[in-house]
């Protein structure tokens, strides 16, 4: 049985709600998504480590906190921040065939299979192990989330079945109740010179009461647990995600129940719970017939004190939920420096010429958090 340490991202006060701006590359401020990828979370932790001790740097000029990860000795592996419902972290849909369900369920879901993004832990384990579902799943969030009935029955208030509520009415209520909502908040900026106003909108994802985010961690050095938890505290105080000056991102954390998954007898495949950037020697994990994966372009901006904002180098990563061939051994991934580099630019940069735009490294983590799974497919 696979077991992972779990942290729940919660509101700072019981009556507050979690609101974030998790943007997407190439999309304006009006767009937001419901989760934060592992590479962005790692970058945020590195930034907090620099704020904590700006004098602690390694030989490459990067923060000392990041050095074990850069040099292949990571004390822990991080998942992406996934939505959470009560104590249930919602795990990414594996790029595997889903178990067959009753014919009536297929007709009811229809094209909804394409909308599926997250599974409850029990359904995630069933898909990875090639087991049929115990019962038809409870479909929430417009088809994006599937829960097993057994796990849904253990949810706390306000998601639990009320004493005067029939099971059918309870299931229908859960189907119609959003776990998170994404809306656009109107904003106005004033030009300091002309006093002219400009209207724009910022995307916001807000989690319902009893819901939030979950972080899964696999420790290889338990001595690093205290440092990670301290950085999570600082990150919650400074704000998670973008638009923190507008009040987004304030949060706290608390330990959750360890995630235990019965995935069956491990075979020669593994499923990702993080983004992954293979090293040159690991490319075979994607070329195998056992592999099934999705790729995502990762870009964005660099904001460094005393420097103008610049676009960091783009990189292509393997997305969460992808399945890798691990027949040659475990996969690790790598951390790369994505600071702006204008050496290949056709035109000379007016400030940085043909050099690097920033003097220090800008790390992006493609270190893999994987779970071993059997070789069998769902039938």
Residues 193-197 have a mean pLDDT of 77
Pick the CATH number of 1-87+202-262 from 1.25.40, 3.30.460, 2.40.50, 3.30.70: 3.30.70
pLDDT band at 98 (very low <50, low <70, confident <90, very high): confident
CA distance 356 to 302: 12
Flag whether pLDDT at 257 surpasses 90: yes
Q: Highest mean pLDDT range out of 37-51, 181-195, 238-252?
A: 37-51
pLDDT number for residue 109: 60
Rounded to whole angstroms, the Cα distance separating 17 from 210 reads: 9
Residues with Cβ within 8 Å of residue 322, at least 6 apart in sequence: 95, 271, 272, 276, 291, 292, 293, 294
What is the mean predicted confidence (pLDDT) over 273-290?
92
Alpha-carbon span 301 to 311, nearest angstrom: 4
The answer to whether residues 322 and 95 touch, using CB atoms and an 8 Å cutoff, is yes
Measured in Å, how far apart are the chain's first and last C-alpha atoms? 22
pLDDT in tens, 293-344: 999 999 888 877 777 888 888 999 999 999 999 988 889 999 999 988 888 7
| Residue ranges of domains in the chain | 1-87+202-262, 263-379
- For every residue of 206-239, DSSP letters joined together read EEPTTEEEEEEEEES-GGGHHHHHHHHHHHHHH-
pTM: 0.90
Cβ atoms 5, 217 nearer than 8 A: yes
Q: Helix (H, G, I), strand (E, B), or coil: what is residue 269? A: strand
Buried-exposed string 216-244: b where 16+ CB fall within 10 A, e elsewhere: bbbeeeeebeebbeebbeebbeebbbbbe
CB 6 within 8 A of CB 212: no
pLDDT averaged over every residue in the chain: 86
pLDDT score, position 348: 84
Averaged pLDDT for residues 119-124: 96
Question: C-alpha dihedral over 338, 344, 350, 355, to 10 degrees?
Answer: 60
Using CA atoms, how far apart are residues 364 and 320, in angstroms rounded to an integer? 16
pLDDT tens track for 343-354: 878 888 888 888
Secondary structure element (H or E) that encloses residue 77, with its range: strand 76-78
| 3-state DSSP assignment of residue 118 | strand
C-alpha span between 370 and 285 (Å, rounded): 13
| Across 155-163, average pLDDT | 90
- Cβ-contact 277, 366 below 8 angstroms: yes
> Is residue 379 predicted with pLDDT exceeding 50?
no
């Amino acid at each position: 049985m696979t077991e992972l340490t779990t942290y729940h991202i919660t509101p700072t006060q019981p009556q507050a709600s979690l609101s974030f701006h998790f943007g997407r590359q190439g999309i304006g401020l009006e767009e937001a998504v419901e989760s934060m990828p592992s590479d962005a979370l790692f970058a945020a932790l590195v930034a907090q480590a620099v704020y904590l001790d700006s004098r602690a740097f390694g030989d490459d000029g990067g923060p000392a906190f990041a050095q074990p990860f850069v040099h292949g000795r990571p004390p822990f592996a991080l998942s992406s921040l996934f939505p959470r419902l009560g104590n249930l972290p919602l795990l990414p849909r594996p790029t595997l065939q889903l178990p067959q369900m009753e014919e009536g369920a297929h007709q009811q879901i229809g094209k909804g299979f394409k909308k599926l993004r997250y599974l409850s832990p029990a359904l995630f384990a069933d898909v990875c192990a090639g087991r049929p579902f115990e019962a038809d799943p409870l479909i929430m969030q417009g088809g994006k989330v599937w829960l097993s009935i057994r796990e849904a029955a253990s949810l706390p208030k306000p998601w639990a079945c009320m004493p005067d509520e029939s099971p059918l009415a309870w299931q229908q209520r859960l189907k119609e109740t959003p776990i998170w909502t994404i809306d656009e908040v109107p904003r106005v900026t004033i030009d300091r010179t002309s006093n002219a106003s400009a209207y724009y909108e910022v995307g916001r994802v807000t989690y319902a009461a009893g819901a939030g985010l979950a972080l899964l961690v696999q420790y290889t050095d338990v001595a690093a647990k205290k440092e990670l938890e301290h950085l999570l505290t600082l990150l919650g105080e400074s704000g998670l995600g973008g638009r923190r000056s507008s009040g987004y991102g304030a949060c706290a954390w608390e330990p959750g129940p360890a995630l235990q998954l019965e995935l069956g007898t491990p075979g020669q495949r593994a499923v990702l719970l993080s983004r992954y950037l293979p090293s040159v020697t690991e490319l075979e994990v994607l070329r195998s017939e056992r592999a099934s994966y999705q790729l995502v372009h990762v870009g964005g901006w660099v904001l460094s004190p005393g420097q103008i904002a610049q676009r960091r180098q783009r990189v292509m990563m393997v997305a969460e939920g992808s399945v890798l061939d691990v027949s040659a051994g475990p996969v690790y991934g790598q951390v790369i420096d994505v600071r702006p580099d204008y050496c290949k630019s056709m035109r000379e940069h007016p400030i940085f010429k043909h050099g690097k735009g920033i003097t220090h490294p800008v790390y992006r983590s493609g270190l893999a958090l994987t779970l071993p799974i059997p070789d069998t497919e769902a039938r």
